Amino acid sequence: MIADGGGRRMGRAARTAAALVVATAALAGCSEAEPASQTLPSTSAQAAPTTEALPPLGPADFPMPPEARERTSRGAVEFTHYYMLLIEYIGDSDLDPQPITTLSANCDACDRIATSFSEDRAAGFTYDDVWVRMTPYDDEAFATDHGFDVGFVYEQGPLVVRDASGQIVDNEGAAATGPLQSGALVEWKNDISSWVVTSLTIG
């Protein structure tokens, strides 16, 4: 599981949640980051509905926590942390990757991650364990014109990909990344009362 300031061994989500995110960021550059504002937007007049009244988001056995649905700077950080956990969780569980796209908007890297889950499963790929860590820079994020810019450090260990026969697929693996300065842009989406990722950049 990708953990805030910690880590554990991650299995089948490895290529997508780790190496693929790095690859898509390098290939597409995601969306260009917006300059961060020095002031945070006021949310007192636009508070989200109470979490008790909100319909659940995410897989039934891995729902988005209430703190990730707060329309605040801290809520944006909690949402981003949940989103990274969600990528790993879906990869480990064979669930439909639709929640990855539901909780994003116009995010090329996010779409490619979801697509890769489907393609890799169809190809019969499996993954040896890989160590992953995601550590937010701070408990709060920088405001942008449309939401928040959430910075974090991403790190993964070596990745080994195997085909359906158990043989190593050399061109699908990846070396350890070391700490990568990373970030996500998030915006509030009223119709689902949640943040969504509009840009995801790793390294």
Q: Residues 6 or more apart from 85 whose CB is under 8 A from it?
A: 1, 2, 62
Alpha-carbon dihedral sign for residues 117, 133, 129, 8: negative
Give me the percent of the chain exceeding a pLDDT of 90: 44
Number of H helices, E strands in the chain: 5, 8
| Full-model pTM | 0.76
pLDDT for 91 equals: 74
Q: Residues 6 or more apart from 42 whose CB is under 8 A from it?
A: none
The residue with greater pLDDT, 96 or 8, is: 96
User: Does residue 94 register a pLDDT over 80?
Assistant: no
For the chain, the distance separating the N- and C-terminal CA atoms, rounded to the nearest angstrom, is 20
User: Does residue 34 register a pLDDT over 60?
Assistant: no
User: Does residue 152 register a pLDDT over 80?
Assistant: yes
Amino acid at residue number 138:
D
Please, are residues 117 and 97 in contact by the beta-carbon 8 Å criterion?
A: yes
pLDDT for 52 equals: 60
